[in-house]
Structure 1
Amino acid sequence: MTKAELHEKTFLLLLVLVTLAFGCVLWQFSGAVFWAAVLALLFAPLQQRVLLRCGARATLAALITMGIVTLIVILPLILAGLALIQEGALVVQKIRSGSMDFGAYFQQAMDALPQWLVHWMTRFGLDDLPAFQAKLTETVRAGSQAITAQVVHLTQNTLDFVIGFGVMLYLLFFLLRDGAALTARIKQAIPLAPAQKDHLFIKFSTVVRATVKGNLVVAASQGTLGGLMFWFLGIQGALLWGVVMAVLSLLPAIGAALIWAPVALYFLLTGMLWQGVTLILFGVLVIGLVDNLLRPLLVGKETQMPDYLVLLSTVGGIALFGLTGFVIGPAIAAMFIAVWTLLAKPEQPLAG
């Protein structure tokens, strides 16, 4: 090994170690850094338009863009979060007091089953309904206690949340103001051909924008529609269930149906036919139509990924990274496709 090669390998090792150490330092605020970067990427076009109107005064343009982001994104999320906490606490209180007894609801549904179905359940050893009811009640009670524990945990760590939120806003300002220059420096440091770097950066930004905007629009639409229908039908905790449907709608095709379908089935089994039929028709024709129309249009079309890959990468991303995985998963899948596409083009060199 020559002295030059030793210097190069030592420098690369130092680069890896310093990068890992810096990642460990920022790990506590990884969520804040991630969402600051996502918001900066989403609102970069708006920042450019504001910058043109401000006469190239980058700081003023970033402040104006920050104000717009706060009004249309951050403030509504805070208000929705406060309403959700209040609604969730009310539902937990009703479960504990017994006024909302899921075990009783289940028993009512079982009593309404036809005899042939009861006979079939008995044949396969599924007739121990009291034990199943007790298990369901215990599961719901444990779930409510877990929700309560999470609310208490969130309250006890309010300071950490406020600090993380402040870090996100602070970092978002600088990413809006200096994002273009920072991106140029990162692109310059990557040892790839200019055309390849442009392709990968464009692909990454397109996928992140499409995934966030598309999934949030679909989630907000399905959650709002589902919550309004639950409120119309007189179901307790309509706001809470609407938010749950919005979160579950991040799972393509099946998400919101995991909530409204069992409720519709309960209505049908207990003789509330018009409520059950109304909820099924609304769920299939309205809530389902939102997913079938908007998601391919807003996510699949822009990312140029097939629906099954969007589904797999979204579910896998959420399983690995939590809620932020609905962005990270499709982004990784898109970069996987982009890199292998570049590799399949021998006319484009892999290094510049």
Structure 2
Amino acid sequence: MDSERAFVAALVGLALAVSALVVRPFFTFVALAAFLAYALFPLQRWLAPRLESRLGPRLGRRVSALVLMVVAAVLFVLPFVLLVQVVVRQALAVAEAVQSGAVDLGVLRDLVGPGVERTLAEFARAAAGRIAEETPGLLGGASNVAVGVTVFGFALYSLLVGGESVVAWLREVTPLPRRVEDELLAELDRLTYAVLVTQGLIAVVQAVLTGAALLVLGFSNVLFWTVLAVVFGLLPFVGSMFIWLPAAVFLLATGDLLGGAALLVYGFGLVNLTDNYLRPVVGGRSANLDPTVLVVGIFGGLAAFGFAGIFVGPIVLGFTRSLVDVAAREYA
């Protein structure tokens, strides 16, 4: 009997290892699908019964999932594609304005020397081309994007339709007391909610602060730059600084020394402090995580898992701590 159990355990371990190798190339897409399904599931729980009463249990739940997927695509994917297109157009417009002399770079010309207009125009065009070429590869390589999006769609659909059955299956195969299962699942739910809300909240706060500064300083297309700042705010090592810092340099280059200096002080003194301090404080309190663990989870997850690791890392560290606590209390 012991040899039989050992064989089954080895077989299960081998299957899990091979499955991990299969999923690994598309882990980012699967993880993002899981997070989006988690965010959309309250809507699925509300919409599905209403459609089931008209279409039947099976068809109603599936139609509800498809409706939410279309809504998510319209709200998230389509704006991202349009955002890239607008960024490319803006970069090309800047290149033309600089090269034609419509933008006066007198201060920057005095500092750098003649020919700065041509250099900046070439840089803007190169940046636009780079963005257009590299954006498809943001999630792990341009050649994998089409397959990855397909995996994302199927994973999201399956989780929306059968998410509750997945949880029930995990409860069934897990040899733990019901109260321990409830505790661990509640902890995982709390951590996931806290991490998603924290990342989104900080990105929005930074973007609003950046947009307000650009509005006061007289920039055009403030709404566009604010939305772009939200996207950048989700990315470690990037943040809204990639919006307000070029804006400050532009003001300085065009002779608005007071506005450029004020934006630099505002950005480094307020916007950056929001990211450096509000993220650990809000995330640490809502997820009951030490700020150091939260920051290590964000950057470690990014290094280990790519973009999805921004969310996965803190959840893994927080859940590991809870798992160790339960193991020490129940089985030590």
Letter in 2 for 1:275: G
Tell me the CA shift for residue 331 of structure 1.
Answer: 0.7
Aligned to 1:349: 331
C-alpha distance in 2, partners of 1:329/1:293?
Answer: 19
Contact 2:134–2:142 (CA under 8 A) maintained in structure 1: no
Letter in 2 for 1:330: P
Correspondence for 1:178 among 155, 162, 186: 162
C-alpha distance in 1, partners of 2:104/2:189?
Answer: 47
Aligned to 2:64: 64
* Residue 85, structure 1, aligned to residue 84, structure 2: yes
Contact 1:210–1:303 (CA under 8 A) maintained in structure 2: yes
Q: Deviations over 1:134-190 (max 9, x none)?
A: xx9799887666434314768xx9896455334433332332222112112113323
Aligned to 1:120: none
Aligned to 1:329: 313
* Residue 75, structure 1, aligned to residue 74, structure 2: yes
Q: Deviations over 1:93-122 (max 9, x none)?
A: 35776938xxx999946967xxxxxxxxxx
- Any stretches of 5+ residues in structure 1 without a counterpart? 113-128
Contact 1:316–1:329 (CA under 8 A) maintained in structure 2: yes
Seen in structure 2, the aligned counterparts of structure 1 residues 99 and 185 have a Cα distance that, compared at 3 Å, is: same
C-alpha distance in 1, partners of 2:164/2:132?
Answer: 43
TM-score (norm 2): 0.73
Q: Deviations over 1:246-304 (max 9, x none)?
A: 34434689943465256436646875245236535764797568658975686333211
C-alpha distance in 1, partners of 2:324/2:143?
Answer: 44
Aligned to 1:18: 15
* Residue 316, structure 1, aligned to residue 300, structure 2: yes
Letter in 1 for 2:289: M
Aligned to 1:48: 45
C-alpha distance in 1, partners of 2:25/2:238?
Answer: 33
Query: In percent, how many aligned pairs have the same letter?
Result: 24
Alignment of 1:158-237 (within 5 A): 161-223=145-207, 225-227=209-211, 229-230=213-214, 233=217
Q: Which deviates more from structure 2 when the two are superposed, residues 57-66 or residues 192-201? A: 57-66
- Any stretches of 5+ residues in structure 2 without a counterpart? none
C-alpha distance in 2, partners of 1:315/1:109?
Answer: 36
SS in 2 for 1:35: helix
Tell me the CA shift for residue 330 of structure 1.
Answer: 0.7
Contact 2:302–2:309 (CA under 8 A) maintained in structure 1: yes
Seen in structure 2, the aligned counterparts of structure 1 residues 180 and 322 have a Cα distance that, compared at 3 Å, is: same
Seen in structure 2, the aligned counterparts of structure 1 residues 193 and 107 have a Cα distance that, compared at 3 Å, is: farther
Contact 1:226–1:245 (CA under 8 A) maintained in structure 2: yes
Seen in structure 2, the aligned counterparts of structure 1 residues 250 and 158 have a Cα distance that, compared at 3 Å, is: closer
Q: Which deviates more from structure 2 when the two are superposed, residues 231-240 or residues 6-15? A: 231-240
Contact 2:87–2:128 (CA under 8 A) maintained in structure 1: no
Give the superposed CA RMSD.
4.4
Aligned length: 320
SS in 2 for 1:99: helix
Letter in 2 for 1:176: L
Contact 1:252–1:311 (CA under 8 A) maintained in structure 2: no
Q: Deviations over 1:176-228 (max 9, x none)?
A: 22211211211332344433332222222221222123312332443355356
Tell me the CA shift for residue 42 of structure 1.
Answer: 2.1
Seen in structure 2, the aligned counterparts of structure 1 residues 163 and 255 have a Cα distance that, compared at 3 Å, is: closer
Contact 1:257–1:283 (CA under 8 A) maintained in structure 2: yes
Alignment of 1:22-33 (within 5 A): 22-33=19-30
Correspondence for 2:4 among 7, 18, 28: 7
Seen in structure 2, the aligned counterparts of structure 1 residues 220 and 79 have a Cα distance that, compared at 3 Å, is: farther
